[in-house]
Amino acid sequence: MIISIGTFNVASFGFGLVAWGLPFVGARRRAKRPMHHYVVASLVCVVFALYFQLLATAYRVVWGDFAGIEDLAEFKTDVAGFLAATTLGLNYMCSGVRRRREEGDN
């Protein structure tokens, strides 16, 4: 089975979307699990998304596509920082929403 660089990018994109969606799922009023379960799962998805981007870069190194690495290095660094910061912010915001909802129900 041949894995292409596109596979790594799609997997990274998918894990990033899941990482952003999990805090909203956890913030719902009828969520069945504690919020920290959703936060941990979201952060694990971010780690996987960044890991797949590292695999894509390693794939480029193996094939000697150093021009591609040079072109994308700064962009990937910026996107990785944005993904991590946004995920942390969403988890913080949704945790606060869930906490306020639970305090209001009591």
pTM of the model: 0.87
C-alpha 21/C-alpha 90 separation (Å) is: 9
C-alpha 86/C-alpha 91 separation (Å) is: 9
Q: Where are the domains of the chain?
A: 5-105
What does the buried/exposed string (b/e) look like for 44-61 if buried means 16 or more CB atoms within 10 Å of the residue's CB?
A: ebbebbbebbebbbebbe
- The predicted model gives 24-45 an average pLDDT of 89
pLDDT at 32: 80
pLDDT tens string 40-76: 999 999 999 999 999 999 888 988 888 988 888 899 9
Spell out the residues 6+ positions from residue 90 whose beta carbon is closer than 8 angstroms to its own.
20, 23, 24, 42
pLDDT at 48: 97
- The predicted model gives 93-98 an average pLDDT of 92
Per the structure block, which two tokens stand in for 94?
């949704």
pLDDT at 106: 62
